[in-house]
Amino acid sequence: MEIRRFIADIGRVSMALPPANKETRKKVHELANAFGLKSESKGKGEARYTTLRRTSRTGYTVDERKIGRIVRGAGGHGGMFGSSSFGGDREKGKRGKGGGAPVRVPRHREGEEVGGTAPKIGESNVGFKMLAMMGWQDGQRIGVSGGLDAPIAAIMKTTKLGLGATN
């Protein structure tokens, strides 16, 4: 579950989910409450999406019974809460309200460094402790022959396809 990965990644403060219909957003808000997260819906119309934020109680008091009830009630398969949860899920004969500019969902831009604002790994981190037990100290390079000076930067490329991808 993506929410559990978000909670486990202490470096992330907030997470934006893809646009969803009203029913799905309601269930996401209920799940956020069960996990001890703050949730907020943003945007207009079909581009309305939910943002989750950490709180001081995130991850400490997880209501597993409530989570199970929400997921079981939603079918527990097919995307997040069913096959038609995201995107244009319109009823027959219903028309959307006109006017207004389309709301843009937050995305990474071309050339933007992904994770560049992530904080350093703290001393309580399992990986930090493991490296420290092997003799590594904060500020040292990792590797036998010098290692890397700076962390590897992940730069966003939206104009290129990945390895083996065809257009």
- Specify the pTM: 0.47
Domain, as residue range, for 117: 107-139+150-160
Residue 90 lies in a domain: no
- State residue 86's pLDDT score: 44
Residue 122 lies in a domain: yes
The answer to whether residues 23 and 68 belong to one domain is yes
Residue 112 lies in a domain: yes
Which residue, of 19, 54, 73, is where some domain finishes? 73
- State residue 27's pLDDT score: 92
Residue 96 lies in a domain: no
- State residue 91's pLDDT score: 47
Mean of the per-residue pLDDT values of the chain: 78
Express as a percent the part of the chain with pLDDT over 70: 77
Tokens of 117: 């604002």
- State residue 78's pLDDT score: 41
Number of domains in the chain: 2
| Spans of the chain, pLDDT less than 70 | 1, 74-106, 144-145, 167
Virtual CA dihedral for 57, 116, 122, 11, nearest 10 degrees?
20
The answer to whether residues 22 and 69 belong to one domain is yes
Which residue, of 73, 92, 118, is where some domain finishes? 73
Quick: pLDDT tens for 2-48: 888 888 888 888 899 899 999 999 999 999 998 899 999 999 888 89
Closest CA to 80 of 88, 71, 69, 89: 71
Residue 24 lies in a domain: yes
Residue 165 lies in a domain: no
Residue 98 lies in a domain: no
